[in-house]
Homo-oligomer: A and B are copies of this chain.
Amino acid sequence: MNSEQIKFDENGLVPAIIQDEASGTVLMLAYMNAESLAKTLETGATWFYSRSRRTLWRKGETSGHVQAVKEMYYDCDADTILVKVNQTGAACHEGTFSCFSRRLDAAAEQAEKLVDPDKVYKEP
Contacts and interface: CB of A to CB of B under 8 A. Distances in A.
A67 B118 CA distance: 37
Interface in A1-46: 1-3, 6, 15, 17, 19, 23-26, 28-29, 41
Interface string A73-101: 11111101110000000001110100111
B26 A82 contact: yes
Interface residues of A, number: 41
A25 B21 CA distance: 10
B100 A75 contact: yes
Contacts of A6: 104
A2 B103 contact: yes
5 contacts: A2-B102, A2-B103, A6-B104, A15-B15, A41-B106
